[in-house]
A and B are shown apart, each in its own frame.
Chain A
Amino acid sequence: MQQYLLSLLIFIPLIAAIVVLFVPSVFQRSFRMITLSASILQAIIFTIILSSSSADASFIIKEQTTWFSIDIGSWGILKAEYFVLLDGLNVSLVALSIGVMLIATIASWKETKNQKGYYALLLILNTAIVGSFTALDFLLFYLFFEFMLLPMFFLIGIWGGPRREYASIKFFLYTLLGSIFILIALIALYISVHDPSAVPGKLVHSFNLLTMADPKNYISNSILDPNNLWMVGPLSARTWIFLLIFFGFAIKLPMVPVHTWLPDAHVEASTPISVILAALLLKIGGYGILRIAYPILPDAAVELSWIVATFGVISIIYGALNALASKDLKRLIAYSSVSHMGFVILGISSVTSEGVTGAIYQMFSHGIISAMLFLIAGVLYDRTHDRIINNYSGLASRMPAYFVMVLVAFFASLGLPGFSGFIAEIMVFLGAFRSASANGLIHESFAIIATSGLVLGAAYYLWTIQRMFFGPFDLKGIASKSELYDLTPREYILLLPLAFSALAFGIFPQLILNWINPFAQQFIEAVLSKGASLTSNL
């Protein structure tokens, strides 16, 4: 039992989804209870996994077995593994997924439209997300990764707002493009890598990400052989593949200029779906870059680090500027996500312990804070069905408790010390700046230019607060004033845990740094040493 806990963690929602599909639609109310209990069960299992694991330096829990193995004659043997793993990189993200799915389920409590389909899709999405975060076999990862797309497409396209078809198709097309990039990389890597543990004389192709990360396992003269670079145009094949993986995940992240699906998807998606989208789906992008792009192609990563950093800085500033221009509250929050995910890219590109830790911390922290932000936008939308910032004024006197929650969420998001976002951003800044003297990858000016994102962040949030909460109370006729009541107990249940988490992880960062630290060290050593040795082969 003990060794299958991780699989149980991944597949409990899928089992629950099947149960939901078999329960007759007459029992409408049972669906949300099933979904909720699946999430709670997941949380319990996760706690068991954490408490049972020895808290040693390299915190790793894994399950590994052969999934299938097909002999295709002279092409060798196609071998895929069922390989899931929990380590310093993904444990915080898995914790985040479980928490956010729980909150999203409670936030969906009032959903009435086709509940059976809704909850079944939510549960499938849950499995796909946790699976993506834990899969260490590229094929398995790709399977989970693709499986996220479909439920999300329907959840936006059926349960969304007025322009939901447009938004969901845009989301679908963008993500599909990313998937194709990753698929190409997957195939290229698959044909270049062989499994060293196989019987001698047999050519076993492997999808194992750890195998792919070791330069020794590349078949000589294959297209991605690091010792004998294939040139395709001006760049080597390895660099091309790095770019494919990077952009494939950058679409998910999302990174400027491949981000425009996000504002539309957020504006049209219902509150719980927005929460999942911002808090979890975006993180797959950053996670993929950290788990796949950098370790497998460290030479290309080191070579292109300044390009990666440039995209990060552009995302930070461009996202913030667009947030400043947004009139719709949800659109503003969506652009702020773009800006904040830019820090993840900048942190990764520095390949310093501060930068990488900051990037992982930022993903975790942004998960908490963006969930809170979208719930806050949802509170208003539930009451008035309007999200235009200028239509509100003087809410502070009318909804004092809501005002407090907005203050917490906004200030947490703009990086006020004491909240988790600050730790993440300061780490990214320190790492990005120190990179020049520590490993010479990116110039100091990247960090300095990125600081302007902090001022812009303060500007768009405080301007929003000023417009919506200060002054005399008015609704500009979008709804009658009596419809605006303060937070309900259910909304407190949703918002308070998030507020406290943002605070707790801002004051006691050690809570998750203990997990991240060993991973970050090993990640940096691997990328830098391999990157250096491979580049010196040229």
Chain B
Amino acid sequence: MEDSFQHAHGFLQTVVLLTLFLPLISFALSIIISYRYAWIVSISAPLFLLASAVCATIALFSQWNAPDVLMKFNWFTLGKDVFSADLLISNLVLLMLFVVALISFLVHLYSVGYMAGDKNIKRYFAMLGFFTFSMQGIVLSDSLLVLFVFWELVGFSSYLLIGHYSESINAGRASKKAFILNRIGDIGFLVCLMLVWSNQHSFNIIEIVGGEPSEWKTYASLCLFFGVVGKSAQFPLFTWLPDAMEGPTPVSALMHAATMVAAGVYLVIKVFPFFTPVTLEVITIIGLVTALIGGFSALAQFDIKKILAYSTISQLGLMLIGAGASMPEAALLHLLTHAFFKACLFLGAGAVIHSLHQAQRQAHAHFDAQDIRCMGGLSKKLRWTFATFVVSGASLAGIPFFSGFLSKEALLTSVWMQQGYFSAIVFLGFAIVSVLTVLYTYRLVYFVFLGESRMVKELPVTEIPLIMRIPLTILAVGSFWFVVSWSPFDFSGWLFEYSKTRAPIELTIGSSVIILVTLFFSTKIYRSGVAHTSDVLRNGFYVDSFYNKVSLYALTPIYRATLFLDRKVIDGGIHFSVYAQVTFAHVVAWVDRQIVDGLVHLVAGVASGIGSLIRSFQGGKIQHYVYWAVFAIIIFLICVLK
């Protein structure tokens, strides 16, 4: 019995480690292969990810609902302190492992079609693999330090992927912004690490999350949440996410669904008991503010990808509201359903952009292939894409019979069950965001696919290749209600093991009605044509411009000042002292030449004067001798005779 358990454990370990490391192997292979054989990468990378996804599936089914398993590894020892790199396998981890692996595989597959012909395909697939590896590291780690390592690596991979089109100046700017804003968030995480280390002397999450709330835990969890704010693009650090659309569209899909932004919410769920009541309140407030900002801003965008980006920001805010209302399971549920439908939406958007680009190239037409004002009526040409887009859009909008409806029900229930005015406000905000979601989703679908074509001229738009349609289809299927539970109106199904909680019947009916009514009205609103949008909303409430101003008007003077300090004050001081010394040396030299030497010369002059005087007595001329002798005698006589 003992033996078979060990064996099973070893098997599990292998499968889990394969899930983690296969993407890394894909990365390494993509780096090593020479440029000449770059095409191999677009075959090998999806295969590696398929294998990884298969391993994750096996792990999920073999270990689902089994007791948690801790895989122990030591990273390094410092003195007596062991820094471990343990991996924890629980239901939460298995689920996330599976979703990340699956979506990453689908994105890889899609990218084969989307990125065909790109000259940096090697770098692209390498970083896609690395991105997945880093995210799986976050999913599995039980050490907060190791989690931080992967946390930063996720930021690094996203940096390179956002900046994939390196000829574009905007891509450089966007990737820099993404990394720096994430780094600012990471500082919070780092301070949390320091607090945890000096109070608990351990980074193992299992050991940290237990125990009573205390003051340092409030600080530490607030700092940790600041890291989440950066990674999950929450207010006030959300501005990098809309800009991150400069990257290739499949990357956006991966980033919004499974890796990058999901990492923050996942962390909140993973270490949930660590958060103290104060922090939970802060989480709720930030989540609400972000959800509202994101929802309103999404309403005003014209770029197809930016609409989706702001939508993600808004949905992440909703997840955090659920977590803040002490129901992390609800946040997880929405994270999972969101992963499917948002990946599908992004890949669908990518399909539209891809088709338009192809058509542009054939027809030599030029317009912004991402601007929804230049689209319309595409449903006739891109039937398959349209179908998947509508399904996933419906899920995002929270329409009954789709997964998004159920996960939002769960979130709404979590808020509903809280008491007090505060939660009433949150509930109201949540309702507003839900309405907004329906509005902007319908607006998006309508502008892109319905109505009349607004393109400059009729383009030969064709459906995307099969290899891109397969991922779309799988993700669209994953946007229906049955991924959550068999009943389309009850979220506590096989995923959500929280038997005590059921959505109150009035809540279910109420929200269904509100959403359907909003949908009805939005069909009326947007039928009337292109709506004008407000500048405030389109610029995301000017938070981004504010940062630009701050960095321009605050940071620049500071570093100019330090440069001045360096060049003028410190170096100036040194130059001054050197010049002073040299001047002093010149003075000394002058004194030496003029006074000391002068004195010497004077003495010498006097001596030589006397000498030449004396010498002149002895010139050797007889007349002189006679003259001086006579002179001396006269003097002598005068003296004597006186």
Do A463 and B156 touch (CB < 8 A)?
A: no
Contact B566 A322 (CB under 8 A): yes
From residue A357, how far is it (CB to closest CB) to chain B in Å? 6
Of the 9-residue stretches A8-16, A277-285, A425-433, which lies at the interface with chain B? Answer: A425-433
Q: Is the CB of B562 within 8 A of A422?
A: no
Quick check: B187 and A452 within 8 Å, CB to CB? yes
- Which residues of chain B have C-beta atoms less than 8 A from A173's C-beta? 574, 578
Q: How far is the CA of A397 from the CA of B163 in the complex (A)?
A: 12
Say yes or no: is B482 at the interface (Cβ < 8 Å to chain A): no
User: DSSP class of A's interface residues: helix, strand, loop or mixed?
Assistant: helix
Chain B residues positioned under 8 Å from A427 (CB to CB): 78
Nearest CB in chain A: distance from B600 CB, A: 33
The range of chain B's interface size is 35 or more
Residue A411, interface by CB 8 Å:
yes
- Judge if A377 is at the interface, Cβ distance under 8 Å: no
Point out the residues of chain B lying under 8 angstroms from A462, CB to CB.
Answer: 159, 175-176, 179-180
Q: Within the assembled complex, what's the spacing in Å between the Cα atoms of A324 and B180?
A: 14
Check: A106 CB closer than 8 A to any chain B CB: no
Q: Which residue of B lies closest to A460 (CB)?
A: B559
Contact B198 A433 (CB under 8 A): yes
Q: How many residues of A contact B (CB 8 A)?
A: 58
In the complex the two chains form, what is the Cα distance from A274 to B150 in whole Å?
33
- Tell me how far the C-beta of B357 lies from the nearest C-beta in chain A, rounded to whole angstroms: 20
Minimum CB–CB distance for B4 against chain A, Å? 34
Known: A427-B78, A433-B194, A434-B197. A459 touches B180 (CB 8 A): yes
User: In this assembly, does B166 line the interface, its C-beta being within 8 Å of a C-beta of chain A?
Assistant: yes
Q: Which residues of A contact B173 (CB under 8 A)?
A: 466, 470
* B562-605 residues at the A interface, CB under 8 angstroms: 562-563, 565-566, 570-571, 574, 578
Closest to A393 in B: B169
B79 touches A521 (CB 8 A): yes
* Set of chain B residues within 8 Å of A463, measured between Cβ atoms: 176
Q: Cβ of A353 < 8 Å from any Cβ of B?
A: yes
Q: Which of A423-458 contact B (CB under 8 A)?
A: 426-427, 429-430, 433-434, 436-438, 444, 447-448, 451-452, 454-455, 458
Query: Contacts of B159 on A, CB cut-off 8 Å?
Result: 462
Q: B193 at the A/B interface (Cβ < 8 Å)?
A: yes
Smallest Cβ-Cβ distance to A473: which chain B residue: B167
Cα–Cα distance between A411 and B187 once the two chains are bound (Å):
16
The answer to whether B198 and A418 touch across the interface, beta carbons within 8 angstroms, is: no
Q: Say yes or no: A416-B152 contact (C-beta < 8 A), given A462-B176, A466-B172, A517-B79.
A: yes
Residues in A with CB closer than 8 Å to B163 are: 470
Asked if residues B77 and A517 are in contact (CB atoms below 8 Å), the reply is yes
Contact among A257, A466, A471 for B167, CB-based, below 8 A: A471
Query: DSSP majority for the B interface?
Result: helix
Is A117 part of the contact surface with B, judged by Cβ < 8 Å?
no
A394 CB to nearest chain B CB (Å): 6
Q: Is the CB of A429 within 8 A of B149?
A: no
Assess the A517–B183 pair: CB atoms within 8 A.
Answer: no
Contacts of A508 in B (CB 8 A): 76
Residue on A nearest B122 in the bound complex, by CB: A400
| Residue contact B179 to A418, C-beta cutoff 8 Å | no
Q: Which of B213-272 contact A (CB under 8 A)?
A: none
Residue A369, interface by CB 8 Å: no
B172 and A469 form a contact (CB under 8 A): yes
Shortest beta-carbon distance from B177 to chain A in Å: 9
B153, A417: Cβ atoms closer than 8 Å: yes
Shortest A290–chain B CB gap in Å is 16
A162 within 8 Å of B by Cβ? no
Do A325 and B153 touch across chains, with their CB atoms under 8 A apart?
no
B residues 114-129 touching A (CB-CB < 8 Å) = 120, 123
Q: What 1/0 flags go to B161-187 for Cβ under 8 Å of A? A: 001001111011101100110011011
Q: Mark A389-427, 1 if CB is under 8 A from B, else 0.
A: 000001011001001000100010000111000100011
Segment 382-411 of B: residues with Cβ below 8 Å from A: none
Contacts of A257 in B (CB 8 A): 570
Cβ–Cβ < 8 Å partners of A430 in chain B: 193-194, 197-198
Check if B562 sits within 8 Å of A417, measured CB to CB. no
User: Given the complex of chains A and B, what is the CA–CA distance between A471 and B562 in angstroms?
Assistant: 29
B191 A451 Cβ-Cβ under 8 A: yes
Q: Is B148 positioned at the interface, with any CB of A under 8 Å from its CB? A: yes
CB distance B180 to A433 under 8 Å?
no
Question: Which residue of B149, B169, B563 contacts A471 across the interface (Cβ within 8 Å)?
Answer: B169
B558 at the interface (CB under 8 A from A): yes
* B:581-640 near A, CB below 8 Å: none
Shortest distance between the CB of A22 and any CB in chain B (Å): 39
Contact B180 A472 (CB under 8 A): no
Beyond A416-B153, A458-B180, whether A322 also contacts B172 by CB under 8 A is no
Q: With an 8 A cutoff between CB atoms, is A114 at the interface?
A: no
B-side contacts of A501, CB under 8 Å: none
Q: Which residue of A lies closest to B119 (CB)?
A: A397
B153 close to A471 (CB less than 8 A): no
Interface centre among B152, B179, B198 (most CB of A within 10 A): B198
* Binary per-residue interface labels of chain A (509-532) against chain B in the complex, 1 for a CB within 8 Å, 0 otherwise: 110010001001100000000000
Q: Do the beta carbons of B171 and A470 come within 8 Å of each other?
A: yes
Q: Which of B79, B120, B566 is A353 in contact with, Cβ under 8 Å?
A: B79
Q: B153 to A418, Cβ gap below 8 A?
A: yes
B166 touches A451 (CB 8 A): no
On chain B, the residues within 8 Å of A513 by CB distance are 76-78
Q: How far is the CB of B137 from chain A (nearest CB, A)?
A: 10
- A227 at the B interface (CB under 8 A): no
- B555 contacts across to A, CB distance below 8 A: 324
Q: Would you mind naming 25 contact pairs between A and B with Cβ atoms under 8 Å apart?
A: A173-B574, A263-B566, A322-B559, A324-B555, A325-B559, A325-B562, A397-B166, A416-B152, A426-B145, A429-B190, A429-B193, A430-B194, A430-B197, A433-B197, A434-B198, A436-B198, A437-B199, A438-B198, A452-B187, A454-B186, A454-B190, A455-B183, A466-B173, A470-B166, A509-B75
Given A397-B167, A470-B163, A509-B76, 8 other A-B contacts at CB below 8 A?
Answer: A260-B570, A263-B566, A321-B562, A324-B559, A422-B152, A466-B175, A471-B166, A521-B79
Q: Which 7 A-B residue pairings sit nearest by Cβ, starting from the closest?
A: A470-B172, A433-B194, A417-B149, A396-B166, A466-B172, A434-B198, A325-B563
